[in-house]
Homo-oligomer: A and B are copies of this chain.
Amino acid sequence: MKRTLGTCYYPEHWPEEIWQEDARRMADAGLTWVRIGEFSWSKIEPTPGVLHWDWLDRAIDVLGAAGLKVVLGTPTATPPRWMIDKHPDMLAVDADGNPRKFGSRRHYCFSHLGYRDESHRITRMMAQRYGQNPHVAAWQTDNEYGCHDTVISYSNAARDGFRLWLADRYGDIDTLNTAWGNIFWSMEYRSFDEVDLPNLTVTEPNPAHMQDFRRYSSDMVVRFNKVQVAEIAAASSAPISHNYMGRVTEFDHFKLGKDLQIATWDSYPLGFLEDRVGADAAHQRAYARQGDPDFQAFHHDLYRAVGRGRWWVMEQQPGPVNWAPYNPSPLPGMVRLWTWEAFAHGAEAVCYFRWRQAPFAQEQLHAGLLRPDSEDAPAMAEAQQVATELADAPDVQPAQAPVALVFDYDADWAWTTQPHGVGLSYFGLVFEHYKALRRAGISVDIVPPNHTDFTGYQLIFAPGVMHLPDALRSALSGAEGHVCYGPRTGARDAGFKIPVPLPPALDGLDVTVTRLESLRPDMPVALKDGGAVTGYLEELETTAPMLLETQDGAPVLVGDAAQSYCGAWLDATGLDRLVALLAEMASVPILTLPEGVRTRRTATEEFWFNHTDQQVDTPAGTLPPAGITRRPL
């Protein structure tokens, strides 16, 4: 499939007179795709039951006539004001018990049945009207599920739904009481109707209670999306996508992705570095205009897995955004770099958000390809350059990487439910493994926890997967590559209990976690020969060979050629050593890359990226700031 570009457009924001000129300029810039519609419900249905499709018909016609392909979004992220009068209890409720009111977007609770029906209704009408439209070449459901912390809702609808979900999962209340260990503080229920939501408890709720509520909440997102997908698929053969948001982990993207044909995500490198990467101030300063050198790549690899090979960047940052604590301009060249990086990781398309900067409302300080006065913004030239460069570039060709890294949303919730130490997060743990692999020049495949065929992987990492499902446990145990487990891998059963025999209870590797501790950030435990444990450390009882140990001789990484277990959260130096050691064992070649330089291989090409604002010498030659090299293998 050809690599393509696109943009996000809001015809309803602009006078109809300029649509045609906009469309022409998009096509001239080399764009293929234009996403529309996803916030336009009040324009489509200004009054309940009164549908205005004409403007959308015309918008699609104009865009299609210019040779553009339309991605049509369902408008369910922004129900109109009248919807709240119709369903006053459809609003999500925050942890303090306050309703999350109308006035921005995503003002609905996924558990609310009335709103689910409304979402069903508008989707059906839209699908039936445009399902056979020749210009509608793809679909998007809703917009950024979970953005603005909208997965978890403590509403009455959620409470009622959770009780049914529990009844379905556990069958009878005694089974639930036993699974959760409710005897602990006399928390036993006599019926499912007694179960309340785990907010506003005097001290922390039972982690099993919280974890199941997180699972339920994720399932509600999947259920909500499934209704839309079914209606669209019934009316259209165009692929269906959803645009996931970076580091939104409150619902299971893999489970939702199973119902889609294409996974897309919204990539805001500078905004993310400021508000969610979690780096220290020096790193944030050094990359303030470039973004973290691994954060986007991680998501690219993640959504390649979520989309089973088919994925896009649906929203690509083209300049300063409006929503981070600080909103700098990108270093010249970064918009091009980000775009090529997505292609290097296998993207089919990259769409810039947004076509023209809006002069009004919440995102009026969010840059577009055009300025509010319709002049080209700086990103336009970089987009056009990529469009030109794409002309002689090969098609998207997925290739399996030598290394697999398991990513499990259930584990992310488990660490959030029970971090044990401040700041310990599953996403952070996996991401730090990913960064170490990238620093070693290794291309990585991210795989879901229900992955069972690890053929071809020389090295597999499964850190922090707190509950290791039987199928994954057995697939990893039978993998031909080396498998590295831990820390905390297999630490809980499905009901959030510590299993006995104690974790990780691996076949063929004698290692038991007998005690574990979390550590202050200022008390690293040094490793012999370099690096340190930070934040989290397990005591291992083991007869296995010691691969890494503390200066006091306590085992940290133990294992053999087939598998290993790491009982610690290692710092960057420690992770570099772990990666080097296991890569050598598994015959995966590694590199030592200059700071901020990254490389990625597809089946046919090798890419080099300079994420720094300085010129750097790399094995692939000297790269200017924000420089890229692409060469055939």
Interface flag for A255 (CB, 8 Å): no
Q: What 1/0 mask marks residues of chain A from 328 to 350 whose CB sits below 8 Å from any chain B CB?
A: 11000000000000000000000
Interface flag for A608 (CB, 8 Å): no
Chain A positions 470-523 with a Cβ under 8 Å from a chain B Cβ: 495-502, 514-520, 522-523
Which B residues are in CB contact (< 8 Å) with A361?
A: 180-182, 184-185, 187, 206-208
Q: What 1/0 mask marks residues of chain A from 208 to 222 whose CB sits below 8 Å from any chain B CB?
A: 110000000000000
Partner of A183, one of B12, B196, B421, B514: B12
Interface flag for A79 (CB, 8 Å): yes
Question: Closest CB-CB distance, A446 to chain B, in whole Å?
Answer: 28
Chain A positions 289-307 with a Cβ under 8 Å from a chain B Cβ: none
Q: Are B42 and A187 touching (Cβ within 8 A)?
A: yes
Q: What 1/0 mask marks residues of chain A from 174 to 191 whose CB sits below 8 Å from any chain B CB?
A: 000000111111111110
Which B residues are in CB contact (< 8 Å) with A539?
A: 329
Which B residues are in CB contact (< 8 Å) with A25?
A: none
**A contact face: mostly helix, strand, loop, or mixed:** loop
Which residue on B lies nearest to A80, using beta carbons?
B186
Binds B, one of A104-112, A164-172, A568-576: A104-112
Partner of A185, one of B39, B82, B147, B182: B39
Q: Are A101 and B358 touching (Cβ within 8 A)?
A: no
Which B residues are in CB contact (< 8 Å) with A497?
A: 359-360, 364
Q: Are B517 and A328 touching (Cβ within 8 A)?
A: yes
Given A202-B104, A203-B148, A499-B359: A288 and B523 interface contact (C-beta under 8 Å): yes
Question: Closest CB-CB distance, A451 to chain B, in whole Å?
Answer: 28
Number of chain A residues whose Cβ lies closer than 8 Å to a Cβ of chain B: 110
Which B residues are in CB contact (< 8 Å) with A208?
A: 360-361
Q: Are A181 and B360 touching (Cβ within 8 A)?
A: yes
Q: Are B183 and A13 touching (Cβ within 8 A)?
A: yes
Binds B, one of A63-71, A365-373, A431-439, A454-462: A365-373
Which B residues are in CB contact (< 8 Å) with A276?
A: none
Question: Closest CB-CB distance, A353 to chain B, in whole Å?
Answer: 14
Question: Closest CB-CB distance, A461 to chain B, in whole Å?
Answer: 24
Q: Are B203 and A106 touching (Cβ within 8 A)?
A: yes
Which residue on B lies nearest to A365, using beta carbons?
B420
Given A328-B520, A328-B523, A420-B365: A502 and B207 interface contact (C-beta under 8 Å): no
Q: Are B359 and A200 touching (Cβ within 8 A)?
A: no
CA distance A522 to B326 in the complex (A): 11
- Known pairs A46-B190, A101-B199, A207-B362; list 13 more (Cβ under 8 Å): A42-B187, A46-B188, A78-B185, A102-B187, A182-B361, A187-B361, A208-B360, A274-B520, A288-B520, A322-B420, A327-B518, A360-B495, A360-B496
- Between A and B, 22 residue pairs with Cβ closer than 8 Å are A43-B188, A101-B196, A101-B199, A101-B201, A102-B187, A103-B198, A104-B202, A150-B202, A184-B360, A184-B361, A185-B362, A207-B364, A274-B520, A285-B523, A320-B515, A320-B517, A328-B517, A360-B497, A360-B498, A364-B418, A367-B515, A372-B500
